[in-house]
Structure 1
Amino acid sequence: MDGIRWIAAYPKAGGTWLRCMLAAYVTGEAPQVWSDVEAQSPGIGALFRLGELPPLEPAGPVLIKVQFKADVPVLSLYREATAKVLYLVRNPRDVLLSAMRMAWIPRDDVARGRAFAGEFIANKGQGVKMGPGVNPGFGSWPDNVRSWTESSKELFPNADVLTVRYEDLQADPVARFSEIVEFLDLGRPVDSADVRRAVEAATLERMRELEKRSDQQAGRKPLTTGKPGGGERVVEPPFVGEGRNDQSLSFLGEDIEAAYQELLQGDSEFAHYAKQYGYAG
């Protein structure tokens, strides 16, 4: 089946991990650098920066990464061209902490961490901020989830939609990834051996090696700063994190954890989707 397959996820919800597996599955080889991943499922934002667009009349399956909400105006260009929507959803508490790490805020910097978490809670997501960048197309966490899981059929009437929890993919990556490639219909029968190889190609250890090779290829070194007594310390976090689940915010103060828990109460959209996907505990 021809058409665009959106690989959609809120920022820091595990989309890069999934795309590493997809790159390995499609090519039959483990990706060696980030450009290998980008070649198989380019991000729509990256395409825009290059002055390019996904094809309006795809000749075959086309994988495109997207973090925008499904209802941002530019995606309406692909109303008829979209064949599949794969949405990866993750516990928003873990999204918060992963985003905080990527904003260069270590866990022991409680003051900055409290400010970041407070803003995330107030905005019910990353809002328009992610580290030093700005991208208003993400929306809040519930807005993003709703747009892809409930509204995308109206926006893309020809598309099938599958939602996968990051935690389920992590718990049984072979079974869940097999379901994903079956759903995406990439032009060949699903091969279980290829699925296993793709999963093995995207372990945390392999992805850290991939990040290191990518930095070396680009001649890039992590940013450092002086530390008391001389020497230097790395201040820029690695892109590949720990993939932690169901974390607490209590280390930032019980009031921060309590404020987050308030989001899980009542009948707000945030509470609705957190309960629907098992994140209200």
Structure 2
Amino acid sequence: MQGIRWIASYPKTGNTWLRCMLAAYLTGRAPRVWNDMHAESLHLEAMLLGGDLPPTEPAEPVLVKTHLKADVPVLGLFREATAKIVYLVRNPRDMLLSSMRMAGIPHDDVARGRIFARDYLANEGLGMMEPGATGESGLGSWPDNVRSWTESSRELFPGADVLTMRYEDLRADPVARFSEIVEFLDLGRPLDPEGIRRAVDSSTLDRMRELEQRSDRQGGGSPLRRGVVRKTTGGRGGGQRQPFVGEGRYDQSLSFLGEDIEAAYQELLQGGSGFAHYAKQYGYAG
């Protein structure tokens, strides 16, 4: 089946890990640098920055990654071309902490971490934290992003099938869940169980750290944007650049930033807000 296959998610949800597994599965070998991954799945935001777009009438299955909401105007160009949507969700606590690390704020910098966490919770995500930031203006809040792909996508992409996958389930049983994703995507070839296992084995956290280090040494691009190597120092907030590949932790607490921060998160889980609704729906309300 031809058409666009979106690999969509809010930032820091495991999108890059999934794309690494897909690249390894499709090519039969582990990506050695980030650009090997980008060659197998396009990055919408990076293409937009370069004045380019994925094909609107693809003659074969095309994988495209995005963090944008499904209802941003540019995605309307792919209304008829979209065949499949894989949407990843993750515990908002873990997304917050991973985003904080990517902002250059180390775990032990509690003062700056508290500021970041308060802003993240007040805005229910990254979308409004840096209004002019490249690639973030179309994120929306976390609940808005989830809603656009899991509920509104039926209207936005009427010919598409949707699979929602929890990051935690993919981590708990990567072979079974990745098999489910590959079969769902219908990539034009029979499912290869041995290829699935090889792809999972080649995309462990340790292997992805090696990929990141090799890319930094060799200029093999960035996980964020094809062809761009991130600097080793700097980062938002003036901190030293943190590695892109973290520890893959889940079900973390925010209490180390102060009990008031954890209490603010718990308050978000109350009532009938969209944040509370999706946190409960996907098992993140504890």
Specify the TM-score bucket, using the shorter chain as the normaliser: over 0.9
Query: Which residue pairs with 2:45 in the alignment?
Result: 45
Query: Which residue pairs with 2:138 in the alignment?
Result: 137
Query: What letter matches 2:169 in structure 1?
Result: D
Q: Cα offset for 1:150?
A: 0.6
Find the structure with the greater CA-based Rg.
1
Query: Which residue pairs with 1:237 in the alignment?
Result: 242
Query: Which residue pairs with 1:114 in the alignment?
Result: 114
Percentage of pairs with the same residue: 71
Compared with structure 1, are the counterparts of its residues 217 and 44 closer, same or farther at alpha carbon in structure 2 (3 Å cutoff)? same
Question: Residues 172-183 of structure 1: matches in 2 within 5 Å?
Answer: 172-183=173-184
Query: Which residue pairs with 1:197 in the alignment?
Result: 198
The size of the alignment, in residue pairs, is 272
Query: Which residue pairs with 1:128 in the alignment?
Result: 128
Q: Deviations over 1:44-95 (max 9, x none)?
A: 0111122211101101100000100000000000000000000010011100
Query: What letter matches 2:233 in structure 1?
Result: L
In the aligned structure 1, how far is the partner of 2:17 from the partner of 2:131?
A: 20
Query: Which residue pairs with 2:223 in the alignment?
Result: none
Which one is further off, 102-111 or 213-222?
213-222
Q: Deviations over 1:231-273 (max 9, x none)?
A: xxx9210000011001100000000100010011111110000
Query: What letter matches 2:203 in structure 1?
Result: A
Q: Does 1:155 align with 2:152?
A: no
Q: Does 1:211 align with 2:216?
A: no
Query: Which residue pairs with 1:227 in the alignment?
Result: none
Structure 1 SS opposite 2:4? strand
Q: Does 1:80 align with 2:80?
A: yes
Query: What letter matches 1:245 in structure 2?
Result: Y
Compared with structure 1, are the counterparts of its residues 118 and 214 closer, same or farther at alpha carbon in structure 2 (3 Å cutoff)? same
Q: Cα offset for 1:129?
A: 3.8
**Contact map agreement 1:223 1:236 (CA 8 A) in 2:** yes
In the aligned structure 2, how far is the partner of 1:199 from the partner of 1:217?
A: 24
Gaps of 5+ in 2: 220-228
Q: Deviations over 1:174-200 (max 9, x none)?
A: 000000000000000111000000101
TM-score, normalized by length of structure 2? Answer: 0.92
TM-score, normalized by length of structure 1? Answer: 0.94
Structure 2 SS opposite 1:161? strand
Gaps of 5+ in 1: 225-233
Compared with structure 1, are the counterparts of its residues 132 and 222 closer, same or farther at alpha carbon in structure 2 (3 Å cutoff)? farther
Q: Which has the higher contact order (CA 8 A, sep 6+)?
A: 2
**Contact map agreement 2:231 2:241 (CA 8 A) in 1:** no
Q: Does 1:263 align with 2:268?
A: yes
Structure 2 SS opposite 1:244? coil
Q: Cα offset for 1:223?
A: 1.8
Structure 2 SS opposite 1:40? coil
**Contact map agreement 2:24 2:30 (CA 8 A) in 1:** yes
Compared with structure 1, are the counterparts of its residues 213 and 130 closer, same or farther at alpha carbon in structure 2 (3 Å cutoff)? farther
Q: Does 1:146 align with 2:164?
A: no
Q: Cα offset for 1:130?
A: 6.6
Alpha-carbon RMSD: 1.6
In the aligned structure 1, how far is the partner of 2:84 from the partner of 2:42?
A: 16
Query: Which residue pairs with 1:231 in the alignment?
Result: none
Query: Which residue pairs with 1:222 in the alignment?
Result: 232
In the aligned structure 2, how far is the partner of 1:78 from the partner of 1:220?
A: 30
Query: What letter matches 1:148 in structure 2?
Result: W
In the aligned structure 1, how far is the partner of 2:57 from the partner of 2:254?
A: 46
